Each structure stands twice: as structure tokens, then as C-alpha cells.
Amino acid sequence: MSKPRYLTKTRFKLAVQCPTKLFYTGKKTTYRDTMQEDSFLAMLAEGGYQVGELAKLMYPHGVEVAHAEHAAALAQTAELLLQEEVVIFEAAVLWSQLFVRVDVLVKRGNTLELIEVKAKSYDSTKPEMVGARGGITSEMRPYIEDVAFQAHVLKQAMPHMTVKCFLMMPDKSVMCEVDGVNQWFPIERADGRSKVLVAPAAKAASALPPLLAKVSVDALVADVFQQGVKTPVGLQPLDTVAQTWSAAYAADQKIAPIPGAHCGRCEFKTSPGDSLRSGFKECWSQVYGFTEEDFSQGTVLDLWNYRKKEQLIAQNRVRLSAVTQADLGQPSDGEELSPSDRQWMQASGIPAGEDRGGFWMAEGLMRQAMTGWRYPLHFIDFETSAVALPFHGGMRPYEQVAFQFSHHVMHANGRVVHQSQFLNAKPGAFPNFEFIRALQQALSADDGTVFMWSPHENTILNKISDQLQSRSDAPADSKDLRDFALSLTKTGSRAMVDLCELAKKAYFHNSTKGSSSIKKVLPAVLSASPQLRARYAQPIYGAPHGMPSLNYRSFAWCSSGADGQALDPYERLRELGAQLLGEEVRPGEDPDDLAICEGGAAATAYARLQFESLAPDARKHLEQALLRYCELDTLAMVMVVQGWQEALQAA
């Protein structure tokens, strides 16, 4: 017997984004779903489970409906609701083809409290749920519409009951006085699935930390009932779309696609060489008759940081070639690239006579920037984590923890060394003060220029500076550490140089689609520099007479694919994941978990080291993977600078 195809709250939220997605979702062997594969979202999801477990502890007499099968869950819920007063976790409610599992359902007589628990951050001192012009803020709307859908199902299924609606969220204004709250909810993995446990310490706690705010959203839910849910075609009545969408999903019928700017965020997209199908391409082929060649030539969705994509699509100007200079605004007068300049290069190509083999460079601006650099050059990258439930006492929900850095040095003669690194992933340890002290030691031997990629490092140093001033456990040398941290920030005496900003102003490569992300710029620079590819194709990295490394031995970062193009070094790192794990990890462990190849995965790995029960060998391998990943981030900056220097020399 096939499983009923009900419109659940997860599928309702998906349909609000784009109803056509209902046809693609859940078909794992047919369509690629990148949302299910994103490691950062996985981390957020696990944080959400932990917040949910803390919420349950607030109702010690609650009963959980543990059945996964619909009929059994509905039967148990119905039986529990016969009581005059009861608290139910994961209550199952069905009306027509709409099915919801309510996080916390509190029944008191004829009143139901519907409590949706979210890992979304909230500040009770400035609860901004309504915008300046009235109406629900765009940030909060998805959460309110989620609650409204559940309330709709409850009201239809139990019309004699009064339904009151609440969101329960981590409150950023509350400081956690208890150490190790996050470790109260360890995650156990088996057969590729995660399960959150509740440690004895949580059950034995005399009082729970007041980290979760219970916020009434009745008025906002009423607004959704009155005005409708915000869909790609505008506001539509919730009850009407719920019935339309549930009927289509039950029959597995595709709802006709309505392309818009939201297509740029579609998760049903494939990568080159993917064996699965792309829902996005099917939609655009259906509406616009696109072929693979049309997709390869680009669409308006590819325009970097362009806010008027919806207008162009509404005018049926969906190809990148249909974009005009007038659509983007006036070009800049100087050498520095403006956002509209980058967008115009995407649409029309690099101007004639300025194409240097697929890339453009503001040579004067680049030379001027490099003239101000002091050798030796220091390249740093931080890995940080911000979770819903603090790892440590004295912290607030979503307060940043800096657990790792990598540090490369480039000398005036071109010699490159992976100079130092830091990692503190010990469960329950607060790493920030040890982190900043290690960074001070790494950078204090000289006054060479320090580089970062994007302002994240600035933000973290400012946060640590605040903690050094405000926390009761600040070390005796906190003033010295604080002065050092502030010296590297934007207004400091040794302010870090943001290479991402330099890339935005002075470098454009066709393959980056306007992006200045290090993970886009590095492959672009490598593809444009035969010298750089040749250098890193040799096993010189970590070799005795090559580039000293703390984590690699005689390693070659560059190799070529079947098409002769240089492979992305981050893909090389992914290949190392299974080797790192070996065969010593417990059954059910996924080898991909240790191929730390993007920032979200690194934060997830740190979270695992904090609250997951790992075998010693698995913990060791995971820490090694983190060190290797972070080292590549700073090496990537070195490679980019080397590529830029070579391009200037060849000019």
C-alpha cells in the first residue's frame, strides 16, 4: 500500500516559494535537491532539533506521539485529546488532504495552544515582526505563514476549539548562565539518520535556562488569514491555495511553472556531469523552450547582485543577451569596477582590447594596492560557529565561537610557508580567548600586512574584543589581547586588507558570474594562469624543499579534468575525505562528513565534535579534516595573489 501524499507543513512552505516544486520534491533518484545536501542547512536543522528538545523539557508532563506512520499517529493524538488537559508533542492532525505535526499542542478545555518551535533567532528587547510600513516583515513571514497553515488545519479539523498561536524561539537577549547546555542534547547517528538524545544532566537540572521565548502571533496569523500567503504571483488566500496544492500533490501532477527571480534560488538544479535531472531546467524549457545551449549562454538569473530580475522576466527578457546597459545604470568613470560594471561585463563580455584571456584587471588599481603592502604578507582565515543553544555559560544564543584559524606567510622573495594554525574543538571548552592569544603570537613577530577574504574576520575580532571586556572569566592579559584584536580591525593601526574587496574593484573573470567568493575566484585565477597551474601541479606543497605545510606532505593541488581544464582545489579536498576516514570509523558513519570542503561543513564538523559521541579515531580524523580544510582557505588566498602578481608582470 502506497504512503498517502498529504500536503504537510514542510511541503506547504515549499509550495509557497514555488508550487511547481511539489512535483520535484521527494524524488531523490530522479531530481537533484541541493537543499537536502547543504551541510550548513543540515547543521541548522540539527540545531532546530535541539531547540525542540529544550522546548519539550519546559513541559515535563507532555506526551510525545512517536509513531511515524500517519494512521497510528492520528489515532494516538485523537485518544490524547479526549483528556480535558494535556500537552502533546508532535500531535498529528488531518483535514482533507492536509496533514500537520504540531511541535507542541497544549489543550486546556476548549482551547488549544499551537506552539511552533523554531531555531530562528529572536530578540525580546526589540521584537521586530512588523515592518515600518506595517505588515509582517519579509524575514518573519515564512514562519508566520507556517503557523497559519497549521492553525488552518486545526480549525478545520476541530471547529469547536479555540486555537491560539505561538512561536517559540531562542532569545538572543538572554545570557545562558549554565555551562554546556548544548551538550545536554547529544546527537546520535546511525544508518545515515540523526537522533537527538537528552542527557541525564538535562533531566536532573533544577531549573532550565530561560533561553526560549514564547511569543504570541495570533494577530499576525489573522493577517495571513485575511490577506493571504505571499506566493510568486502575489498574495493568495491560504485556504484556496492549500486545497489546490494538496490536490495536485496527491495526484502527483505538476503545477504549471511561473518563472521569476525566485528561480535563482531553486534547489532542484544539477551540476556538470550530474546523472540526475534539473527541475529548474525542465521549468524554463517548458515555458521558454530553452535548450542546453540557451542555458549555457546565461540567463538574467546569473546577474550578480542585480535587484530588478523580476522586472526583466516579466518583460520576457530572460536571456543574458537581452540585458542592456540602460537596465544596469551608468558605467563608472574611473578604473575601479562598480557593481553595474561587473553586471555589464557579465551581459556583454569583457570590452574589446581589455580581455586578457578570459579575465579583466584594473592594473593601475591593483599595482597601487600592492605597493602599500608590507612583507612578509600574512594570510589568515577563521572558522567559527554560532548555534541556537550556547556551547558555553556566559554566552547568548547565536553568539559566535572562534574555534580555528589558519595562517600562511609569503616572504618578499616569494617563499610561501604555512606558518601556524589553531584548533580547539574540545567539548565544552570556550576557545575564544585562547584563539586570540594564539593569533597574537602568530602575527606579532613583524608588522607585515595581514589579509582576510571578506569582513567576517573583522566581525569576529570585534566580538572577541567585546567578550574580553565584558565576561567575568576574561584572562589577566585581556587588555593586551583586546588592543591586539582591535589593531587588526577596520580602524586599527594594522587594519587587515580585504582581498575580496580588491577582487570586486579590480578583477573580473567570465567564469565567476560576477562573484568575488574565494571559491569562485581561485578556480578562475588558476584557469587564467598556466604558470600557477604548472607550479601547483608539482608535488611541492608540503615537500622538504618546496612550500612547508603543517598538514600536507608532497601534495599536488592542481590537476586537469577530461576537458583539460584545471580542477578546483576544493574538489581535490573532497576527494581526500574517504582517505581521512579509512575503515576505523563506526558503522553508519558517512565518509563525506569528513571531506570538509566548505564553511558550513566546517561549522557542522565543529558542532559534531562538541555534542556527538564519536569514537577516538573518528574524532581524530575529523579534527585532521578541519585543519586541512582551513589550511586550503589561506593557501587559496596565496594562490590568488600569486596569480594577480604574475598577471601584472605579464602586462
Mean of the pLDDT values across residues 88-109? Answer: 98
pLDDT level of residue 424 (50, 70, 90 thresholds): very high
Q: What pairs with residue 7 in β-bridges? A: 98
Does the global pTM surpass 0.75? yes
pLDDT at 40: 57
Within 10 A of 487 (CB to CB), how many other CB atoms are there? Answer: 17
How many angstroms separate the CA atoms of 236 and 240, rounded?
8
Mean of the pLDDT values across residues 575-584? Answer: 41
- Amino acid identity of residue 130, one-letter, is V
Of 554-563, 624-633, 638-647, give the range with the top mean pLDDT.
638-647
Mean of the pLDDT values across residues 208-237? Answer: 96
Mean of the pLDDT values across residues 220-247? Answer: 97
- Tell whether the model's pLDDT for residue 594 goes beyond 70: no
Alpha carbon separation from 589 to 192, 412, 582 (Å, rounded): 7, 45, 11
pLDDT at 134: 80
The mean-pLDDT minimum among 223-232, 308-317, 566-575, 640-649 falls in 566-575
Instruction: Tell me the DSSP string of 370-397.
Output: HHT--SSEEEEEEEEE--SS-SSTT--T
What is the percent of the chain where pLDDT is above 90? 72
- Tell whether the model's pLDDT for residue 456 goes beyond 50: yes
- The mean predicted confidence, pLDDT, of the chain is 90
- Tell whether the model's pLDDT for residue 196 goes beyond 50: yes
- Tell whether the model's pLDDT for residue 441 goes beyond 90: yes
pLDDT at 588: 38
- Tell whether the model's pLDDT for residue 580 goes beyond 60: no
Domain range annotation of the chain = 38-174+210-248, 510-650
Under 8 Å between Cβ of 74 and 92: yes
Mean of the pLDDT values across residues 559-565? Answer: 61
Peptide linkage before 548 cis (omega within 30 of 0): no
Residue tagged 578546483 (cell numbers): 568
Closest CA to 245 of 1, 25, 2, 3: 25
Mean of the pLDDT values across residues 236-264? Answer: 97
Closest CA to 15 of 232, 273, 300, 180: 232
Mean of the pLDDT values across residues 88-107? Answer: 98
Instruction: Enter the DSSP assignment of 7.
Output: B
Which is it for strands 497-498 and 401-410: parallel, antiparallel or unpaired? Answer: unpaired
pLDDT level of residue 582 (50, 70, 90 thresholds): very low
Closest CA to 393 of 548, 242, 175: 175
pLDDT (tens digit per residue) in 126-176: 888 988 778 899 999 999 999 999 999 999 999 999 999 999 999 999 999
The mean-pLDDT minimum among 156-160, 268-272, 610-614 falls in 610-614
Helix (H) or strand (E) holding 234, with range, is strand 234-236
pLDDT at 563: 56
C-alpha dihedral, 524 to 527 to 529 to 530, nearest 10° = 170
The mean-pLDDT minimum among 69-73, 111-115, 182-186 falls in 182-186
pLDDT at 618: 84
Mean of the pLDDT values across residues 467-496? Answer: 95
Within 10 A of 471 (CB to CB), how many other CB atoms are there? Answer: 17
How many angstroms separate the CA atoms of 426 and 208, rounded?
24
pLDDT at 318: 97
pLDDT at 208: 86
Of residues 363 and 594, more confidently modeled: 363
Mean of the pLDDT values across residues 197-222? Answer: 90
Q: In sequence order, which ranges of 58-176 are alpha helices (DSSP H)?
A: 70-80, 141-157
pLDDT at 35: 85
What is the percent of the chain where pLDDT is above 70? 92
Under 8 Å between Cβ of 266 and 279: yes
Cα-only R_g, the chain: 27
How many angstroms separate the CA atoms of 436 and 477, rounded?
11
pLDDT at 199: 87
Mean of the pLDDT values across residues 567-593? Answer: 50
pLDDT (tens digit per residue) in 382-414: 999 988 988 888 889 999 999 999 999 999 999
Mean of the pLDDT values across residues 13-29? Answer: 96
Mean of the pLDDT values across residues 193-219? Answer: 87
pLDDT (tens digit per residue) in 568-577: 787 777 655 4
pLDDT at 217: 97
Grid cell digits, residue 136: 509582517
How many angstroms separate the CA atoms of 247 and 245, rounded?
5
pLDDT at 31: 95
Provide the edge-to-edge strand list for the sheet that holds 416-423: 416-423, 401-410, 377-385, 450-452, 497-498
How many angstroms separate the CA atoms of 224 and 527, rounded?
50
pLDDT level of residue 181 (50, 70, 90 thresholds): confident
pLDDT (tens digit per residue) in 336-376: 999 999 999 999 999 988 999 899 999 999 999 999 999 99
Q: What pairs with residue 384 in β-bridges? A: 402
